[in-house]
Each structure stands twice: as C-alpha cells, then as structure tokens.
Amino acid sequence: MVDAVSTAQTTDRKLPNYWLRFVFLILAAVVCTLGSFAVGRYSLDIADVVLVFLSSFCGAIKDLHLLSAYSAFLLLPPPLSLLTAMTLDLSAFFADVLDLFFSVLPSPDAMAGNVVFDIRAPRIFAAIFVGAALSTAGAAYQGMFQNPLVSPEILGVSAGAGFGAALAIYFDLGVGAITTLAFAGGLIAVGVAYLISCLAKGSATLSMVLAGILIGSLFSAATSYIKLVADTNDQLPAITYWLMGSLARAEWGYELLFAVTVITIGLIPLCLFRWRMNVLTLGEDEARSIGVNTNLLRLIVIVCATLVTAVAVSISGLIGWVGLVIPHFCRMIFGYDYRGIIPAAVVMGAGFLLLVDDFSRTIAITEVPLGILTAFVGAPIFAYLLMMGERRS
Amino acid sequence: MSLAISHLSFAYSRNSRLVLNDVSFLVAEGELLAVLGPNGVGKSTLFRCILGFLPHHQGSIYLNGKDIRTLDHKEIAKYVAYIPQSTHPVFNYTVLDVVLMGLANQVRLLASPNRIHINEAYAAMESLGISHLRDAGYGEISGGERQLALIARALVQKARILIMDEPTANLDYGNQFRVMRRISDLAKEGYSVVLSTHNPDHAFLYANRALMIYGGRVIASGTPEDVLDAKLIKEVYGVDVYIEDYQCGSYHHKHCIPVNGDFERHE
C-alpha cells in the first residue's frame, strides 16, 4: 500500500504553448530586424526598406535567370536543355510580371539602396550574431557553473580580448589586427584559466571560476598598463572606445564573415547538447552517477561558448549584460529546461542587441557605445527579474 | 543484482590516514542495508567508492560479480544509481524534467528524450505516487516529494543497486517515515538498497541488515536487532539510549529511545 507524500500543490509551470511563444519570439525578432533597417540618420521608412529589398530581389531573379540559361545551354545535353529552356521561359515570364509590377511602384533611389545594403545590413548582421552568441554562451555557462549570476565573461574572455585589442591599437597594427588579436587574446585567457583549474585541487567548477577571476584581473591590469603608456591623443581614446563596445565598425568583409562562421559553428553543438546541459546543472557527482561524461561535456560547452564569445567580442568590443540578462528572461518565459532556453536565447539575444543597437544609433547626436547602453537597459531589467524571482522560487 | 565489497580501504592521498579501513560486506537482491555511523566516519567516501568516483581504492568492489575497476562510468551507471540528499535546486526544473535526467544514459548523445522515455518517467513517478507533481516546479515541492522525485530519477536509470545518502535528512517527521516506507517497498521489489542514516529506528523498522562504521572500520554488522544495542550506540554516538522491545499484536519491533543521564535513577 502506498500513501501520497504530503498534499499535492501542482502549480501550472508547464508551458503548454511553448511553440506559440517561440513563434511570437521569432516574429518579434523579424520585426526588430526590419525596423532596424529603417532606423538611423538617413531617414527611411519601412516601406522604403521593403521596396529596396523587393527591387533587388527582382534583379537577383533576373540575373539568376540569365546565368542559369547560359549555363543550361552550354552544359546540358539537347533534350534536357530544351526542358530547362521551357522552365526558364516560365521563370522569365514571372520575372517580367515582377518587372511590370515594379514599374508601377516608385523605384527606390540608389542612395537608399546603399544605406540599406552597405551600411545598415552588415551592422544588423553583426548585431544579430553577436547578440545570439553572447546570450547563448551566457545561458550555457550559467548551467555549467550551476550559478545564474555567471556571464560569458566569467573565464576572462573579455579581459583577454580587451588586452589583445589594446595591444593592436598601441602598436598601430590596423583594423584587421585588432579583431585578430582580440580573438586570440580571448582564447588565450580562457585557455590559461582552464589549465590552472585543471591543475588546481578541489571542485572543478569552483576552481574554474576562481581561475577565471584571476586571469581576468591580470589581463585587465595589463590593459590598464597599455592605456597608461599609450599616446593620449589618438591611441588612448581608441582603446577606451573599443572597450566600451560598438558595432559601428561592422562592414562586409572577411572579419564579419569569419565571425559569422565561427558563431554558427559554435552554436550548433550547444543546440545539439541542450538537453544534456540539464544534467550538467546537477553538479559533478550527480551527473556522473547518472552516466554522463561530465569532463567531456563540460569541455565541449566551454570550447563552444568561449569560441562564440571571443569572436563576438573581437568584432564588437566589450558588451556586457546581454549574456547575463537574456538567459534569465528566457527562463522567465520558456521555463528552466535547456531544451527550451537555448533556442530562445539565440533568438532573444539577437533581437535584444538589435534593439539596443537601434537606440545607440539614434538616442544622441553621436553614437552611444553599446556597452554603456546594455548596462543602462540590462540593470533595470535584472533588478525587475530579481524582484519577480522573489515570488517565483 | 548484488553488491559485494571485500577488504576495501581508501585514503585520499598516499600518506594521509585511511578513511576506509578493511571494509567488507555484501548486499543481496532485495536487501536493504542501513549504514550507520557519526558524521565524518567515511560513509560518504564508501558511497563514492561504490559509485566509481574514487578508483584508487584498495580491495575490491563487485557489482553483480564484475569488478568496478573494469567498468567505465557509463556501465557503472547501469548497475548503480545514486540518490543524493534533496537540496534546493539552482534552477527550478519541473519534476518531470528532473526525472527525465535519469535517462541520460539511454538517450542518444545528441538527442532529447522521446515519447517512450517520457512514458517511462511517468511510470516511475506513478509507482512512487508523485505523478500528480509532474508539472510542478522541483524547487516548490516539499523535501519529501523532492526525495521521491530523485528516487524516480534513479528508477528510470534502470540500475538495480540504489545508493542513498541520508534520504531522510532535512525531512519532517512524517515525510521521514513515508519516504522510508517507499524505499523498503523498493527493496521488497528486488532492488538492492544501501542507505546511510543516523536514526537507529529507521534501521529497526525498515532494514534487513545494519552496518556500523566508526573510524573507517566496520565495527558491527548483522541484522539491526542483533547489532544495534545500547552499548554500541553509546560507544559510537556518545548518547545514552534505551532499546525497547515493543510488541503489540502482530507488530513487533525494537525501538531506540534516547534518555538523559539520570535515566537509571528513575528506573
């Protein structure tokens, strides 16, 4: 015979309409993205942006059509090429219809196209990927260290990146070198912290946090020294401004391509291992007793989270708070299960940084650095979450 | 499935004192072994050895006849499940999520639990009478319910040896006995259960065997009725107790009653 242990107090914490919430989140992020194209010094409204997109889309279809027509006739055997020609005729017809459609609409001016594609698009691209990287890395680190107050900078990646960037600015190595050295600095800092924690005795996670603090303050001190000896007219402001974080430097190029690639590659394992991260939050002994290889899983999480953070910091400078606040926000809306948190953190982090970047572009005559704005936005949100948390747990 | 330990000794480093000194015992299928002893005598170290966390031990640990040193952590997890003390969680997972974590060994590396796994979790919760809590937050339920959720997590792991570290610690008076009864039911179903406890009454009421560890050594082992007497408890815990044989109809058990120093005078 069995008797129930104390009375039931089932609170409805299961979120049955998870997918609905997620779809709403994605919609909000898409709206943010579109809106971000319209925000800025050169005034454009959303209709202009849509027009620019449609006209270039139409142009792309026509280009594609010509290209595929040539290649089809050159490469395919006669019967097939005939068939392709027929389908191509069809697509040409559609392109013509689109053309007709656009001849009715006012054609966008070249300036608008430039603003959208060459100035705003790379910046928005960068904001999306940096935001997604920071918030997902934050969520992963918080689970791994079983501590909701952890942010992606916990292992000293920001301090290392800051030092690398300051070094590159001090030696006048150019824009590309700033990104490269920042990335390398971030990885070196975390690598050293991880090595120290491996050699340390006692709890693995605790010694990792302590090693991270140690390395972080060491690199911060080194950065301070560079600031001290740097030229006060141009180098010192450049270093200071870099450390505050900004996406103004984003432009189409190898750096952005590299960052986007690394972030995508780094986020994939975090997404795939997202259920297993739940088990990692139990702590070393419990997770191992269940049969999880904690050392391997922790290493994977550290490598991925560090890679995406380092590369994000290398193109954007130091942007705090995103990795701390967004995971909390995700937990509030999507529950505590990492299966839900990781995809939500990707989308929400991207949307959040886009919004903050929009503010940074418009709020004052000169751009306000992102690091400052995220603190101003993040701190009140975090305070609100703390107050809400009182009731929830 | 049985657990056999022979001449197990362990020290954390080469020159430090032995935390476990020549410990031997056997737990057969369907047996509930209560390990007693004051704090810091090596009970937790013993459990960590059985779970394979401390491979540098002397002597042997056999899980179902296999030496633990020949098994990797995934295989050990198939034989032994660990049920820790229920602490307040950092992240407020639902009870279902907590139970599902026990399936980590069975879910493919990159996958999430599927419908079959979830039904297994439901069945385990049903058998422990906590299926109504599946959507409740693990941080919001009582300590007793949390302990049962951890037991459910161990059940879905499908290991037949259950190691419990003071399962009744931090529980209120009623929940202590309700949780202990569930645990003894599990032993009757054929699980081999090893648990640590400080309460001799739990050993009398629910255990088939008792093991008293003191200073890293087994100083008494056998049925609780034979082993646990006032002299032993005085020696180990430094507390005067009176062991009473209580009989009422078909109910017959020993009970341990702590007394003040002036007990003899009143008698």
pLDDT tens-digit series, residues B201-244: 999 999 999 999 998 999 999 999 999 988 999 999 988 888 88
Answer yes or no: is A22 within a domain: no
Give the number of C-alpha atoms closer than 13 A to the C-alpha of residue A104, restricted to the C-beta side.
5
The residue type found at A199 is L
pLDDT score for A116: 85
Q: Give B258's strand partners.
A: B241
Quick check: is A20 in a domain? no
Are B191 and B261 in a shared domain?
Answer: no
Tokens of B96: 């279902």
Tell me how many domains chain A contains. 2
The answer on B156 and B236 residing in a single domain is: no
- Whole domain around residue B150: which residue ranges? 3-224
pTM: 0.86
Query: Are A247 and A273 contained in the same domain?
Result: yes
Number of independent structural domains in chain B: 2
pLDDT at B261: 63
The two tokens of residue A31 are 């709206």
Using a CB-CB cut-off of 8 Å, the residues of chain B touching A337 are 93-94, 97
Q: Please list every residue in chain A whose beta carbon sits closer than 8 Å to the beta carbon of residue B85.
A: none
Contacts of B78 in chain A (CB under 8 A): 291
Contact status, residue B246 vs residue B255, Cβ threshold 8 Å: yes
Q: Which residues of B touch A273 (CB under 8 A)?
A: 110
- φ/ψ of B212, rounded to 5, equals -105, 120
Domain boundary among A84, A108, A132: A108
Specify the amino acid at residue B3.
L
Angle between helix A338-362 and helix A121-144 axes, rounded to 10 deg = 140
Q: Answer yes or no: do A217 and A273 share one domain.
A: yes
Shortest distance between the Cα of B53 and any Cα of chain A, in A, equals 8
B173: CATH? 3.40.50.300
Domain that holds residue A294: 112-392
Q: Is residue A12 part of a domain?
A: no
Same domain, B67 and B8: yes
Same domain, A174 and A242: yes
Nearest CA in chain B to A148: B90
Residues in chain B within 8 Å Cβ distance of A339: 112
Which 8-state DSSP code applies to residue B101? G
Tell me the CA distances in angstroms from B97 to A12, A213, B152, B155, one per residue in order: 14, 32, 11, 14
> pLDDT at position A76, please?
65
What does DSSP say about strands B20-27 and B3-10: parallel, antiparallel, or unpaired?
Answer: antiparallel
CB-nearest partner of A339 from B48, B77, B112: B112
User: In the listed set A49, A78, A108, which residue is the last one of a domain according to the structure?
Assistant: A108
* Shared domain check, B105 and B179: yes
Q: Are residues B109 and B239 in the same domain?
A: no
Q: Which tokens sit at A222?
A: 């080194």
B187 and B243 part of one domain: no
Whether B97 and A278 lie within 8 Å, measured CB to CB = yes
pLDDT in tens, chain A (393 residues): 344 443 333 334 444 578 888 999 999 999 999 889 888 878 788 888 888 887 787 777 767 766 666 666 666 666 666 676 677 677 677 767 767 766 666 666 778 888 888 889 999 999 999 999 999 999 999 999 888 888 888 889 999 999 999 999 999 998 889 999 999 999 999 999 999 998 988 788 889 899 999 999 999 999 999 999 999 999 999 999 999 998 988 888 888 999 999 999 999 999 999 999 999 998 888 999 999 999 899 999 999 999 999 999 999 999 989 999 999 989 888 889 999 999 999 999 999 999 999 999 888 888 899 999 999 988 898 888 778 764 444
> Do residues A204 and A316 share a domain?
yes
- How many Cβ contacts (< 8 angstroms) between chains A and B? 125
Q: Return the DSSP state at B161.
A: E
Residues A120, A255 within the same domain:
yes
Residue B78: how many CB atoms within 10 A of its CB? 17
B73/A293 CB distance under 8 A: yes
Reported as type and span, the H/E element at residue B187 is helix B173-188
Cα A202 → chain centroid? 34
Among residues A53, A85, A108, the one where a domain terminates is A108
Tell me: the pLDDT tens digits for B112-157?
899 999 999 999 999 999 999 988 989 889 999 999 999 999 999 9
- Please tell me whether residues A299 and A380 are part of one structural domain: yes
**pLDDT of amino acid A304:** 95
- Both B216 and B233 in one domain: the answer is no
- Which pLDDT belongs to residue A181? 94
> How far apart are the CA of B221 and the nearest CA of chain A, in angstroms?
27
B112 and B130 part of one domain: yes
Mutate to test the interface with B, among A141, A147, A290 (most CBs of B within 10 A): A290
Residue A11 lies in a domain: no
User: Which strands sit side by side in the sheet containing B58-63, from one edge to the other?
Assistant: B20-27, B3-10, B58-63, B66-67
Contact B145 A146 (CB under 8 A): no
CA distances for B60 relative to A140, B5, B72, B79, angstroms: 39, 6, 15, 16
Are B233 and B218 part of one and the same domain?
Answer: no
Q: Which of B50, B68, B88, B90 to mutate to test the interface with A (most CBs of A within 10 A)?
A: B90
For residues B234 and B108, state if they share a domain: no
**Mean confidence (pLDDT) of chain B:** 90
Based on the fold, state whether residues B106 and B212 are members of the same structural domain: yes
How close, in Å, is residue A57 to chain B by CA atoms? 37
In this structure, the answer to whether residues B166 and B184 fall within a common structural domain is yes
> What is the distance in angstroms between the CA of the first residue and the CA of the last residue of chain A?
33
Which of A1, A2, A5, A271 has the highest number of chain B CBs within 10 A, making it the mutation to test binding with B?
A5
Residue B209 neighbours by CB under 8 Å, 6+ apart: B25, B27, B31, B32, B33, B34, B221, B222, B223, B224
- Please report whether residue A5 resides in a domain: no
Residues paired with B164 in a beta bridge = B83, B195
Q: Which residues of A touch B146 (CB under 8 A)?
A: none
Mutate which: A2, A13, A142, vs B, most B CBs within 10 A: A13
- Domain membership of residue A21 (yes or no) is no
Of B76, B91, B148, the CB nearest to A5: B148
Q: What is the ipTM of this complex?
A: 0.87
